[in-house]
Amino acid sequence: MANPTHPLAPYDVHPSVAYVQSILSQFQVKTGRTWEDWVAWVRSEGPANPKDLQVWLKARGLGTTQASLVAQRAGAVPGHAFNDTPEGYLAAAPGYVEGQYGGRKAAFRPLFERLVELARGLGGDVKICPCETLVPFYRNHVFAEVKPFASRLDLGLALGDPATVNDPAERLKDTGGFAKKDRLTHRLELTSEEDLDLALPWLERAYGRDGNR
């Protein structure tokens, strides 16, 4: 499979970023201090050890997530793009995809790009939100995700109860997700663009199932 030069796909802000921004905006209301005030306090009086700092922050009324965000912003523990601003996440997202498709996996980058195109074509509400090891596709929730391996791409799909899914080609694999109440319930292994004809109807079905909140 050729690996032609291609533009970076336009990615979307991961839902986790909005969640973090919501927490940060509520610091003053819920703790009596802005997160910037907490960071200043940590830098002036907080312990240097990350574990001790977490305990110190919780002892002063912060929850686990609040304490982690303050510690990250104070430079006491590594940060993460999901805990950054929307602009920060979007700046990091292309690097996640580049990292996934290095080495032997590079041959599958064009196939990934075609999957992104197909997903975008399902509707204007599709969001492509890369993580470090895979790329989820969102509508209201995750309806699919793509994860590369050296020999294939795995397309995870939210198709619901396996008992209601009829696959004449017998290519879908039940992940056990439905029994565990996970969003993604099936997996399709893709190795070439010819497999996209098989993948598209399942992408459409997963997208359609996520039409209601």
38-42, 85-89, 196-200: lowest mean pLDDT where? 85-89
Chain segment 94-152, per-residue pLDDT in tens = 999 999 999 999 999 999 999 999 999 999 999 999 999 999 999 999 999 999 999 99
Rg of the chain taking only CA atoms, in angstroms: 21
Does 35 share its domain with 132?
Answer: no
- Backbone torsions φ then ψ of 172, nearest 5 degrees: -70, 140
How high does pLDDT run on average in the chain? 92
> Quick one: pLDDT band at residue 7, thresholds 50, 70, 90?
very low
| In a domain? residue 5 | no
Does 8 reside within a domain? no
Number of domains in the chain: 2
Query: Phi-psi region for residue 176, left (φ > 0), alpha (ψ -120 to 50) or beta?
Result: left
Q: Are residues 65 and 34 in the same domain?
A: yes
Neighbours of 86 (CB within 10 A): 13
In a domain, 203, yes or no: yes
Residue type (1 letter), 115: L
Report percent pLDDT > 90 for the chain.
85
Give the domain range for residue 59: 15-83
On the question of pLDDT at 6 being above 60, the answer is no
pLDDT at 89: 92
Same domain, 39 and 76: yes
